[in-house]
Chains A and B, each alone.
Chain A
Amino acid sequence: DIQMTQSPSSLSASVGDRVTITCRASHSTSNYLNWYQQKPGKAPKVLIYATSSLHSGVPSRFSGSGSGTDFTLTISNLQPEDSATYFCQQTYNTPYTFGQGTKLEI
């Protein structure tokens, strides 16, 4: 199985800041990497798919980059509603594993 490791596990930032969350895969996943946002008590929602493609309706302050084993999610101009937990997911092969999550506090 491909292990996904996110860092940091948690972070605190202010409105208007820019933050970066990192996801590292134990084996190359090419660009088969997605990012999700989950708020307490809710199901995850996709933000980014295929490493850098912004899902419909997601604000442009979210962006993704990377390839192979190292990926990043960047959130610019942080807003209060961005307070959530963020997960990366590889869909290079099954089992489709997730990172352990990064809790972002605004």
Chain B
Amino acid sequence: QVQLVQSGAEVKKPGASVKVSCKASGYIFTSYYLHWVRQAPGQGLEWMGIISPNGGSTSYSQKFHGRVTMTRDTSTSTVYMELSSLTSEDTAVYYCAREPSDGAHVWFDPWGQGTLVRVSS
């Protein structure tokens, strides 16, 4: 079955960087875009950006521009999201999600299980 498995929880100090991985299985990795979405504790969902596993092209939310980098490794069917210059406001669960399409519309399915990133001194 289609599955996205993310790396484990992280604790980072302010100013540090974090790199979260998302390993895809059960489908052709290069056939679907992948997104990153985060959710601060008790808060809503915030879209961070998208990566094309086929060519590696990316598009980031302006909010994270300059701080976020999304990459992929086709040999392991894994995408990565690195966020730098962390502050306490980056404490959140980070999700990857695949983007199916009906040719016009897109949605996110499935989602990874989430990775908690806690930023604390």
Overall SS of chain B's interface: loop
Q: Which residues of A contact B59 (CB under 8 A)?
A: 94
Q: A50-B102, A95-B62 are in contact. Are A34 and B108 (CB under 8 A)?
A: yes
Q: In chain A between 45 and 62, which residues have their CB closer than 8 angstroms to a CB of chain B? A: 45-46, 49-50, 53, 55
Residue of B nearest to A35 (CB): B107
**Looking at the complex, which one of A36, A50, A99 makes contact with B105 (CB distance below 8 Å)?**
A50
Q: Which residues of A contact B110 (CB under 8 A)?
A: 43, 45
Least CB distance from B23 to A in Å reads 15
- A63 at the B interface (CB under 8 A): no
- B120 at the A interface (CB under 8 A): no
A binding-site residues for B, Cβ under 8 Å = 31-32, 34, 36, 43-46, 49-50, 53, 55, 87, 89, 91, 94-101
By the criterion CB–CB under 8 Å, are B107 and A91 in contact?
A: yes
Q: How many residues of B contact A (CB 8 A)?
A: 24
Q: Which residues of B contact A91 (CB under 8 A)?
A: 105-107
Q: A94-B61, A96-B35 are in contact. Are A43 and B105 (CB under 8 A)?
A: no
3 A-B pairs with the lowest CB-CB distances in the bound complex, closest first: A43-B111, A49-B107, A50-B105
**Looking at the complex, which one of A34, A43, A95, A98 makes contact with B107 (CB distance below 8 Å)?**
A34
Number of CB contacts from chain A to chain B under 8 A: 62
Least CB distance from A50 to B in Å reads 4
Q: In chain B between 5 and 52, which residues have their CB closer than 8 angstroms to a CB of chain A? A: 35, 44-47, 50
Overall SS of chain A's interface: loop
Q: Which residues of A contact B62 (CB under 8 A)?
A: 95
CB pairs A–B below 8 angstroms (18 shown) = A43-B110, A43-B111, A43-B112, A43-B114, A45-B109, A46-B108, A49-B102, A49-B105, A55-B107, A89-B107, A89-B108, A91-B106, A94-B50, A94-B59, A98-B44, A98-B46, A100-B44, A101-B45
